[in-house]
Amino acid sequence: MLSTLMDPQQALQWVGTHIRPYFPATKITGIAVGNEILTGDDATLMTYLVPAMVSINAALVKLGLDQYIHVSTPNSLAVLEVSYPPSEGSFRSEISEIMPQFLQFLATTKAPFWINAYPYFAYKDDPNSVSLDYVLFNPNSGMIDPSTKLHYDNMLYAQVDAVIFAMAKMGYEGIEVMVSETGWPSKGDPDETGATAENAAIYNRNLLRRQLENEGTPLRPNKRLEIYVFALFNEDMKPGPTSERNYGLLQPDGTMAYNVGLSPLSSSSGSASISLTSNATQVQRGHQSLLFPAFLYLLLFQVFMRRQR
């Protein structure tokens, strides 16, 4: 479909059909063109990406929607050749040709760089070297970047800053970075260390607390980092390891996958991209009534491709 939407007329028709009728009644802030294309195996699809984004953005301009809706594409952290320490962040050489085109588009349209970042994977792959508290946002000594002397008390912020440094090395220092996906699985296979309901609850609870405090990263402390949690529901029919079916806060039937424990949190900060509604949502499980705060998600359109990792 990306090849079709390289055509400005096809892109205009798509936006006119799928976006314009629902805006502004539905709060649409971004269009995600594909998902993790730059780390996929289809080199031809990569060449379609930026032209399709250009055509979709041109359609938004023509319809007067570009001031409200941006166009970007979610990227896997695997776009980075180096991510540690953050100041050494750099993009993979395999995407060196397309990356300048992509970054120039983001800079021109003032769209964010979207990154899918999962500290869980780093912990799972090397639990003896990676601190669990560091990846869960728990109190810990953290790490200091030897070049910048910036202190990091969690891995997610370090990963985001590595992307910022990688862009700066290519001459693009002002592009915003948003976390388009992050989360923690509540179940896993025997070799998926750390995939527990307890860790998932801690990760999401601590993450939300930081969102409510409008935190930025050490490199951009005064710029709030916008984050989207994956996922609302478990995907019980998804293939692959057990963890892939257990990132949700809820089961497919609407019952809680685990108690994320958000009831003590205040919902007064309306600017959080992941915020709490003022009313609790009631869920029946057998004879027990469970009350828990519901997440209010900004609608983020995932276009063309289903999420894959």
Per-residue pLDDT of the chain (309 residues; tens, 9 = 90+): 889 999 999 999 999 999 999 999 999 999 999 999 999 999 999 999 999 999 999 999 999 999 999 999 999 999 999 999 999 999 999 999 999 999 999 999 999 999 999 999 999 999 999 999 999 999 999 999 999 999 999 999 999 999 999 999 999 999 999 999 999 999 999 999 999 999 999 999 999 999 999 999 999 999 999 999 999 999 999 999 999 999 999 999 999 999 887 544 444 444 444 433 222 222 322 322 222 222 323 223 232 233 333
Catalytic residue among 36, 176, 192, 226: 36
Task: Show the tokens assigned to 196.
Answer: 């527990």
CA-wise closest residue to 12 among 25, 4, 105: 4
Task: Indicate the SS3 state at residue 167.
Answer: helix
Q: In whole angstroms, what is the distance from residue 181 CA to residue 178 CA?
A: 9
Q: Which residue has the tokens 């050749």?
A: 81
Q: In whole angstroms, what is the distance from residue 2 CA to residue 53 CA?
A: 9
CATH classification for the domain delimited by 74-303, as one of 3.40.50.720, 3.40.50.300, 3.20.20.80, 3.20.20.70: 3.20.20.80
C-alpha 222, offset from chain centre: 20
CA-wise closest residue to 295 among 309, 308, 276: 276
Catalytic residue among 176, 181, 192, 226: 181
Q: In whole angstroms, what is the distance from residue 258 CA to residue 186 CA?
A: 8
What local confidence, expressed as pLDDT, does residue 277 receive?
A: 28
Domain boundary assignment for the chain: 74-303
Q: Which residues on neighbouring strands pair with residue 273, listed in sequence order?
A: none
CA quadruple 135, 141, 142, 147: dihedral, nearest 10: -170
Task: Show the tokens assigned to 60.
Answer: 């938004």
Helix pair 43-62, 98-109: axis angle to 10 deg: 20
261: left (phi over 0), alpha (psi -120 to 50) or beta: left
192 flagged as catalytic: no
DSSP code of residue 109: H
181 flagged as catalytic: yes
Reported pTM: 0.85
